[in-house]
Structure 1
Amino acid sequence: MNFDRKYLVWALGYLVAGMCVGLYMAASKNHAQRVAHAHILLVGFAVSFIYGIIHRLWLDRPGKVLATTQFVLHQAAAIVMCVGLLLLYGGVLSEPVLAPVLGAASLGVLLAALLMIWLVRQSGRAEAAA
């Protein structure tokens, strides 16, 4: 499976998860999970979808190790962030307990974005050399 399709499949999974949290909030009239809901849809769905588009349109043959590292890092960090926020805003775990985990997940998402920039820049260099 190509990275564009992998990102699309994961993006759609986040979309369903985000919609489920949204439906839960609407049905329960309890909107405490709105921050988690937003992160699931933005960091999970939107960013994964955009990365899939980037792979489809601009990255012909990215370095397999770097592309795999970027993909795994983004998905792992996004899952940890989303689950951590659900636990935090659901009152399951306290902020002092989750802060280091959420901080590390945030840095993971940022690092994955920086790796995507690197992949795009490397792809541009390969095109210029050809």
Structure 2
Amino acid sequence: MKGAARPFFILAVCYAVAGMVLGIAMAAMHDHTQMPTHAHIMVAGFLMSSVFAFFYHLFPEIGSRPMARIHFYVQAISGVVLVASLFVLLQGTEQIEPVTALASIGFLAGMLLFIWNARPVLRAA
């Protein structure tokens, strides 16, 4: 794997492990309060990062562009802040909600960057 595919795949694996650990911890404690965080880690984190990794792997000319690297950093930073702040929010610290909201907007911006990067493929279809 080259270009943006590699860091996205590494990020996906990290999300998968984190989501599984959280899921096992919730089951062991019989406390599923963090189910929304678990879902965000697995779907927004693992699944989306995997899709981005495989897209950039299938289209290495796009994955090697600077915009693909920018996409990675925007998606990675906002995603990690999103799930961490969501975890804290669900623990009852409502003051962190603006951070969660900003991270969500950042995550959306990352998706929009991906769409921008994928335009050549979308146009060719």
Question: Do the structures match in fold with TM over 0.5?
Answer: yes
**Correspondence for 2:86:** 85
**Correspondence for 1:10:** 11
Q: Point out the more displaced range, 63-72 or 17-26.
A: 63-72
The 1:16–1:53 alpha-carbon spacing in structure 2 relative to 1, beyond 3 Å, is same
**Correspondence for 2:47:** 46
**Correspondence for 1:117:** 115
The 1:62–1:19 alpha-carbon spacing in structure 2 relative to 1, beyond 3 Å, is closer
**Correspondence for 1:99:** 97
The alignment's TM-score, normalised by the length of structure 2, stands at: 0.89
* C-alpha RMSD of matched pairs (Å): 1.9
Identical pairs, percent? 33
Equivalent residues of 2:3, 2:69 under 8 A apart? no
Equivalent residues of 1:3, 1:52 under 8 A apart? yes
Equivalent residues of 1:70, 1:115 under 8 A apart? yes
Equivalent residues of 1:40, 1:82 under 8 A apart? yes
Give, in angstroms, the shift of residue 124 of structure 1. Answer: 5.7
Encode CA deviations 1:42-66: one digit per residue, 9 max, x unaligned: 1110110000011011342446321
- Structure 2 distance, partners of 1:62, 1:45, is 18
Encode CA deviations 1:7-59: one digit per residue, 9 max, x unaligned: 11110000000001000000000000000000011111011000001101134
Equivalent residues of 1:18, 1:40 under 8 A apart? yes
> Counterpart of 2:24 in 1: which secondary structure?
helix
Whose radius of gyration is greater, 1 or 2? 1
Equivalent residues of 1:7, 1:49 under 8 A apart? yes
**How many correspondences in the alignment?**
124
**Correspondence for 2:76:** 75
- Structure 2 distance, partners of 1:59, 1:111, is 22
Gaps of 5+ in 2: none
The alignment's TM-score, normalised by the length of structure 1, stands at: 0.86
- Structure 1 distance, partners of 2:39, 2:73, is 21
